[in-house]
């Protein structure tokens, strides 16, 4: 029994809402599993409510929580004043175990050798493994007793186990007190041998001053061991003593650090600057750059300052950390680059910086990490959130890594087997006790009861818990369990106040194109509901939405090696492929991405549109560095390993290079460009009616079978005054990727100028390489005061012929049989379309024309009424007439089914991978939803007919629900989008509380609407 007498946190112990910390020394108890806590029931108010007890056992590397949440009082609950508490496994935190070190510091016999400063130590093992920096004295009384001239100061401390070999130590002090200068003779470190049958003592010679007024004026020294003295008890009880010198210790090296301050206004700083240098053998710790070797006034604009840092050999230097303390008047600092020389072997390392360390500029940071120019290794030290670590766990660099060897924070994110991303959203109920500060997790359960590891739903930056009515979203990775059948949701809370009311759980699986939504409305609590803190939900009860299958790609972006090549602007990407295009996606900068001569690799989830044809990159030109030199981009399919390269090699800037913020790059696959280059001539005819001309700025987007052109500004015309009545203006756009046959054009203006209204007659677009002209007939107003008051119009190409809707057509059906089972029996199919349902298509198997063999592909044609877009497929496995069916189940393994509508060429792909049992009746069948649809250009053209959409907006009844702002809407469909449209009506007060407003938008047919 241990008496909790002296708290480290409060003099008045065990008060309401307080946390007390005690140090208890005891014998080695092994693995802890129970704590007994109680009191002697004395005093005026002996009753005590204990929330939880936490036991941190450094020697085990465990911090365990023992929840209680009960009274220890004679007049409360059951009257018990002693309780047994059991630890919760989920709340156990593991870390590197601590071992005892006996540290003895010998102070020299020279004048003023002792010190009043606080001494600290760091111990390093192999491969840069080290302890935390630890001060040797815990209070001022100890400081007065130790570190006197010609004395030995001995400390026994528990620090992290750095392994079998100690390669170096770092000692130093904080330069405080009346006499901070210190002369250290040497340091001994004694520790137990691995099998604990003896000890070894390492001696680290020093014989140097650690003082700002002596020697080289440094207060930090790195020491390497000179000899090892081992004492070991033998089996016969004798003590064996061995003395030996250390073989090949690390060299003490002088590093010359040259820091270049940029030549930009306000670049210099008067603040205190600190640097940490990292190598594959360790680091220097943080060093103050006090005295420049070549300048009195250091870190001035356009200058280079040199500093000497003494440290044990760091090996290959790959990273530095720079920071300043933001003191003095001129604290902002712009660092151009840093060069480091190893004076022993003359190795040179270059760090290209080009960043501000300032609270006022760029992203407002005073501390930055920079990687060596040629470094291509892991940059996980930049990770600051669980999403960052998951991205590394999902990347290809983890494919060949032994999971057992992963240490540090990454160990919590790696797991055996294929890992895919998941998006989890949790809605907490609005009950007053619904919130929890517990840590939540999910477990995914697939077919054959295959289970993922426990996936923790952790927040970035230390945020914790779920508040009432909140909706929290998480990006995680987990084992690919195939089709998810069940999901377990729980938390690690065990005390009564850790109850949690879960209202809704959403799980999106982008690689499967599926989103599950579960209405839970249940408690996860020990004292609520059925008393469980985790629950398994069957996804048969979930609402399932098809969100489109996405493929994981590893994207590598190269930034050019030019001055100012890095950027702070937001970067956006749009991809085009044979099977469509993606929406515009933003590339996450995440601290140190897109810097000069740097290649950044990260994961992207992209719609299955490969093979790619082109990529559009756009920056918004914002931030303190609005320009970017883009070299090239590489996309790697994580499933197939296919590579696609995109080359640019120029500026995205309004001042440099091509003076544009947007670029298009042709896809290069196996050295072959996937698109041709061309130039377009755009002729714009303004109508011959009163007031037809405009002073506004006009823009267009051209759509074709190979995607779209992006926004093109109609600026430079042969006419000085553009878009005047009955005039034709011509604009040339060179070096563009060919769009192929054109189908649609969007035109709009910004409604600026004295007379912005415009009546457009037509627009001709000539593809100069094909010598083909496409006409887009308009004959309507783009004006906020004329016609239907719209300034955005979509027009179909007049060259394309629109046919009447088909009544009958032919479908080609390609069936792939898997290796799981072939059949000699018949197969029947029914196609479910958006417009109609087909009759039954029976494929009769015979000995003469045998189909559905293992691993084979069979092709059939089927005449039917036109079904529209095919959404689903019914497949049955039917026995032939008078055929005997044995008792054992006969199955047919259907792998894939591909259906092609022959008139327009639309392709519908079904990924079945299912075993279909043989039955005598047609009521037994399986239904498959379409996995992927490829719409042909001919089909797209047929859908481009003008239609009107009615948009109904209902404003809520909440106080303050109405708005006076300008409201815009964009409607997205299978055939594209409307562009940004303003919802406006003349002489009406719109969007008021409780009101319903109706608007009509004229555009080309969008097909099936998807979002707005």
Domain that holds residue 857: 808-941
Task: Evaluate whether residue 567 is within a structural domain.
Answer: yes
In the prediction, which pLDDT does 382 show? 56
Helix (H, G, I), strand (E, B) or coil at 549: coil
Residue 802 forms part of a structural domain: no
Q: In this structure, are 660 and 761 located in the same domain?
A: no
How is 554-592 classified by DSSP, letter by letter? EEEEEEPSSTT----S-EEEEEEETTEEPPPEEEP-TTT
Would you place residue 982 in the very low, low, confident or very high pLDDT band (cuts 50, 70, 90)?
Answer: confident
Q: Are residues 211 and 135 in the same domain?
A: yes
Is pLDDT of 406 > 70?
A: no
Rounded Cα distance, 83 and 69, in Å? 11
- DSSP states of 176-192: -SS---EEEEEEEEEEE
Number of domains in the chain: 8
In this predicted structure, what is the pLDDT of residue 418? 82
Q: Which of 496, 526, 546 corresponds to the end of one domain?
A: 546
- For residue 518, pLDDT over 90 is answered with yes
Question: Average pLDDT of 118-136?
Answer: 91
**160, pLDDT greater than 60:** yes
Q: What token pair was written down for 285? A: 């710790």
**115 & 241 share domain:** yes
900 backbone φψ class: left, alpha, beta (φ>0; ψ -120 to 50): beta
Predicted local confidence at residue 1012, as pLDDT:
64
- Strands 662-669 and 672-673, by their bridges, are antiparallel
Instruction: Please indicate, yes or no, if residue 584 is contained in any of the structural domains.
Output: yes
CATH code of the domain containing 86: 2.60.60.20
Shared domain check, 721 and 687: yes
Kind and range of the H or E run holding 938: helix 937-943
**Spatial separation of the C-alpha atoms in residues 1004 and 977, rounded to whole Å:** 9
Domain co-membership, 261 together with 237: no
Element spanning 474, H or E: strand 471-479
Give the predicted TM-score (pTM) of the model. Answer: 0.78
Same domain, 936 and 812: yes
Is residue 382 situated within a structural domain? no
* Mean pLDDT, the chain, whole residue set: 88
For residue 466, the 8-state DSSP code is: B
Q: Of 975, 918, 912, 921, nearest to 949 (Cα)? A: 975
* Separation CA 921–CA 935 (nearest Å): 35
Is there a single domain that holds both residue 405 and residue 523? yes
pLDDT exceeds cutoff 70 at 93: yes
Query: Is residue 801 domain-resident?
Result: no
Say whether 918 sits in a helix, a strand or coil: coil
pLDDT for res 594: 87
Residue 803 lies in a domain: no
Together in a domain, 103 and 226: yes
Identify whether the C-beta of residue 572 lies closer than 8 Å to the C-beta of residue 587: yes
Q: What gap in Å lies between CA 89 and CA 86, rounded to an integer?
A: 9
* Alpha-carbon gap, residue 7 to 20, rounded angstroms: 6
Distance between CA 940 and CA 935 in Å, rounded? 7
Q: Please tell me the distance from the alpha carbon of residue 999 to that of residue 1012, in angstroms, as a whole number.
A: 15
pLDDT band, residue 153 (cuts 50/70/90)? very high
Exposure string for 93-132, b = 16+ CB within 10 A, e = fewer: eeebebbebebbbbbbeeeebbbbbbbbbbbbbeebbbbe
For residues 637 and 555, what is the distance between their CA atoms, to the nearest angstrom?
Answer: 9
Residue 372 CB neighbour total at 10 angstroms: 20
Q: Is 377 helix (H, G, I), strand (E, B) or coil?
A: coil
Mean pLDDT of 658-676: 93
Q: Output the pLDDT for position 381.
A: 57
What pLDDT shows up at residue 731?
94
Task: Report the distance separating Cα 505 and Cα 491, nearest Å.
Answer: 14
- For 733-766, b/e burial (b = at least 16 CB within 10 A) is beebbbbbbbbbbbbbbebeeeebbbbbbbbbbb
- Report phi then psi at 8, rounded to 5: -80, -10
Torsion angle of the four alpha carbons 153, 157, 161, 164, in this order, in degrees rounded to the nearest 10: 40
Where does the pLDDT of residue 391 fall: very low under 50, low under 70, confident under 90, or very high at 90 and above?
A: low
- Could you write out the three-class secondary structure of 824-850? CCEEEEEEEECCCECCCEEECCCCCCC
Burial of 538 (0-12, 13-18, 19+ CB in 10 A): exposed
Q: Which pLDDT band, with edges at 50, 70 and 90, does 496 fall under?
A: low
Contact 380, 392 (CB under 8 A): yes
Percent helix / strand / coil, the chain, rounded to 5: 5, 45, 50
Cα–Cα distances in angstroms (integers) from residue 473 to residues 412, 500, 898, in the given order: 19, 17, 36
Helix or strand run (H / E) with residue 742? strand 742-749
In this structure, the answer to whether residues 134 and 262 fall within a common structural domain is no
Query: What's the pLDDT tens digit per position in 163-217?
Result: 889 999 999 999 998 899 999 999 999 998 888 788 999 999 999 999 999 988 8
For residue 137, being part of any structural domain is answered with yes
User: pLDDT of 892-943, one tens digit each?
Assistant: 999 999 999 988 888 999 988 889 888 888 888 899 988 888 887 777 776 7
Judge whether residue 597 has pLDDT over 60. Answer: yes
Residues 214 and 282 in one domain: no
How many other β-carbons are positioned within 10 Å of the β-carbon of residue 238? 8
Cα angle for residues 735, 736, 738 (degrees, 5° grid): 130
Question: Which residues, other chains included, contact 374 with Cβ-Cβ below 8 Å and sequence gap of 6+?
Answer: none
Q: Is-contact 152 104, C-beta < 8 A? A: yes
Residue % of the chain over a pLDDT of 90: 46
Strands 543-546 and 585-587: unpaired
Nearest-5° Cα angle at 134, 131 to 138:
150
Whether residue 603 is found in the same domain as residue 729 = no
8 Å CB contact between 624 and 355 = no
Q: Which of the listed residues 654, 673, 692 is the one where a domain comes to its end? A: 673
Residue 737 lies in a domain: yes
* Neighbouring residues of 37: CB distance < 8 A, sequence distance ≥ 6: 50, 53, 68, 72, 82, 83, 85
Residues 482, 485: Cα–Cα separation, whole Å: 9
| Residue 855 CB burial class (10 angstroms; 0-12, 13-18, ≥19) | exposed
Q: Is the peptide bond before 611 cis (omega within 30 degrees of 0)?
A: yes
Q: What is the pLDDT of residue 738?
A: 93
Whether residue 703 contacts residue 743, with contact meaning beta carbons closer than 8 Å, is answered with yes
- Average pLDDT of the residues in 962-981: 87
Among 377, 409, 442, which residue terminates a domain?
377
Which tokens go with 1012?
């707005």
Whether the pLDDT of residue 324 is over 90: the answer is: yes
Within this chain, do residues 488 and 624 fall inside the same structural domain, yes or no? no
Burial annotation 262-277 (CB, 10 A radius, 16+ → b, else e): beeeebbbbbebbbbb
């Amino acid at each position: 029994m241990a008496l909790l007498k002296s708290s480290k946190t409060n003099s008045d112990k065990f008060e309401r809402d307080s946390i007390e910390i005690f140090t208890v020394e005891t014998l080695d108890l092994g693995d802890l599993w129970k704590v007994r806590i109680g009191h002697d029931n004395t005093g005026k108010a002996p009753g005590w409510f204990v929330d939880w007890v936490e036991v941190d056992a450094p020697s085990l590397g465990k911090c365990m929580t023992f929840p209680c949440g009960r009274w220890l009082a004679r007049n409360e609950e059951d009257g018990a004043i002693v309780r047994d508490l059991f630890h919760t496994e989920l709340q156990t935190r593991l870390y590197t175990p601590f071992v005892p070190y006996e540290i003895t510091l010998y102070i020299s016999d020279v004048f003023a050798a002792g010190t009043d400063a606080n001494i600290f130590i760091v111990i390093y093992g192999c491969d840069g493994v080290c302890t935390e920096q630890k001060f040797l004295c815990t209070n001022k009384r100890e400081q007065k007793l130790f570190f006197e001239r010609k004395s030995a100061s001995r400390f026994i401390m528990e620090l992290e186990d750095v392994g079998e070999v100690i390669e170096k130590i770092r000692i130093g002090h904080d330069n405080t007190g009346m006499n901070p200068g210190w002369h250290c003779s040497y340091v001994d470190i004694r520790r137990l041998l691995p099998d604990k049958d003896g000890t070894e003592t390492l001696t680290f010679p020093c014989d140097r001053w650690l003082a700002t007024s002596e020697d080289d004026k440094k207060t930090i020294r790195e020491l390497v061991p000179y000899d090892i003295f081992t004492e070991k008890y033998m089996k016969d009880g004798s003590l064996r003593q061995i003395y030996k010198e250390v073989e090949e210790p690390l060299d003490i090296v002088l590093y010359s650090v040259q820091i270049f301050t940029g030549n930009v206004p306000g670049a210099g700083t008067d603040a205190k600057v600190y640097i940490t240098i990292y190598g594959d053998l360790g680091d220097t710790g943080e060093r103050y750059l006090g005295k420049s070797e070549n300048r009195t006034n250091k870190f001035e604009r356009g200058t280079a300052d040199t500093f000497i840092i003494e440290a044990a050999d760091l090996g290959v230097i790959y990273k530095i950390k720079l920071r300043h303390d933001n003191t003095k008047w001129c604290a902002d600092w712009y660092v151009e680059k840093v060069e480091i020389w190893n004076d022993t072997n003359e190795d040179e390392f270059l760090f290209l910086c080009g960043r501000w360390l300032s609270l006022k500029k760029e992203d407002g940071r005073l501390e930055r990490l920079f990687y060596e120019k040629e470094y291509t290794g892991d940059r996980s030290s930049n990770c600051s959130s669980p999403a960052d670590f998951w991205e590394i766990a999902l990347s290809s660099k983890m494919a060949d890594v032994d999971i057992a060897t992963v240490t540090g924070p990454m160990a919590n994110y790696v797991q055996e087997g294929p890992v895919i991303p998941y998006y989890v959203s949790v809605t907490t109920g609005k009950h007053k006790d619904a919130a929890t500060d517990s840590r939540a997790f999910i477990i995914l359960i697939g077919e054959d009861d295959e289970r993922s590891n426990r996936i923790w739903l952790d927040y970035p930056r230390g945020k914790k818990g779920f508040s009432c009515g909140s909706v929290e979203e998480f990006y995680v990775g987990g084992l690919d369990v195939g089709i998810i059948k069940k999901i377990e949701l729980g938390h690690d809370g065990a005390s009564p106040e850790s109850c949690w009311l879960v209202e809704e759980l959403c799980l999106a699986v982008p690689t499967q194109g599926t989103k599950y939504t579960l209405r839970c409305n249940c408690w996860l609590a020990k004292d609520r509901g059925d008393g469980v803190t985790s629950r398994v939900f069957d996804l048969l009860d979930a609402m399932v939405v098809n969100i489109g299958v996405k493929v994981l790609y590893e994207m590598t972006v190269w930034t050019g090696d030019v001055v100012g090549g890095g950027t702070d602007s937001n970067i956006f990407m749009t991809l085009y492929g044979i099977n469509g295009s993606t929406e515009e996606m933003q590339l996450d900068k995440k601290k140190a991405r897109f810097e000069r001569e740097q290649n950044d690799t990260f994961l992207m989830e992209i719609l299955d549109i490969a093979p790619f044809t082109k990529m559009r990159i756009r920056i918004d030109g914002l931030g303190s560095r609005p320009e970017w030199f883009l070299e090239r981009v590489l996309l790697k399919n994580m499933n197939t390993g296919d590579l696609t390269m995109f080359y640019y090699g120029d500026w995205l800037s309004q001042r440099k290079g091509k003076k544009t913020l947007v670029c298009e790059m042709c896809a290069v696959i196996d050295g072959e460009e996937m698109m041709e280059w061309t130039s377009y001539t755009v002729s714009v005819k303004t109508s011959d009616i009163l007031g037809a001309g405009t002073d506004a700025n006009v823009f267009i987007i051209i759509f074709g079978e190979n995607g779209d052109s992006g926004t093109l500004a109609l600026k430079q015309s042969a006419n000085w005054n553009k878009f005047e009545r009955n005039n034709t203006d011509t604009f040339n756009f060179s070096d563009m990727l060919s769009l192929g046959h054109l189908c649609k054009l969007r035109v709009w203006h910004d409604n600026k100028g004295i007379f912005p209204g415009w009546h457009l007659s037509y627009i001709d677009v000539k593809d100069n390489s094909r010598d083909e002209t496409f006409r887009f007939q308009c004959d309507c107003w783009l004006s906020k005061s004329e016609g239907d008051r719209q300034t955005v119009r979509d027009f179909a190409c007049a060259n394309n012929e629109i046919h009447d809707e088909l009544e009958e057509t032919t479908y080609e059906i390609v069936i792939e049989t898997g290796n799981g089972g072939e059949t000699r029996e018949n197969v029947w199919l029914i196609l479910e379309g958006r417009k109609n349902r087909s009759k039954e298509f029976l494929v009769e198997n015979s000995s003469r024309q045998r189909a559905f063999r293992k691993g084979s592909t069979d092709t059939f044609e089927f005449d039917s009424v036109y079904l529209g877009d095919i959404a689903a497929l019914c497949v049955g496995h039917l026995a032939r007439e008078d055929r005997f069916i044995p008792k054992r189940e006969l199955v047919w393994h259907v792998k894939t089914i591909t259906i092609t509508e022959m008139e327009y060429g639309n392709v519908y792909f079904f990924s079945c991978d299912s075993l279909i049992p043989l039955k005598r009746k047609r009521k037994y069948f399986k239904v498959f939803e379409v996995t992927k649809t490829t719409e042909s250009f001919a089909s797209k053209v047929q859908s481009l007919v003008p239609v009107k959409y009615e948009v109904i907006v209902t404003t809520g009844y909440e106080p303050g629900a109405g708005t006076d702002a300008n409201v815009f809407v964009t409607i997205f469909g299978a055939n594209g989008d409307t562009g940004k449209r303003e919802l406006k009506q003349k002489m009406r007060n719109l969007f008021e509380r409780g009101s319903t407003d109706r608007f009509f938008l004229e555009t080309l047919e969008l097909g099936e609407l998807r979002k707005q």
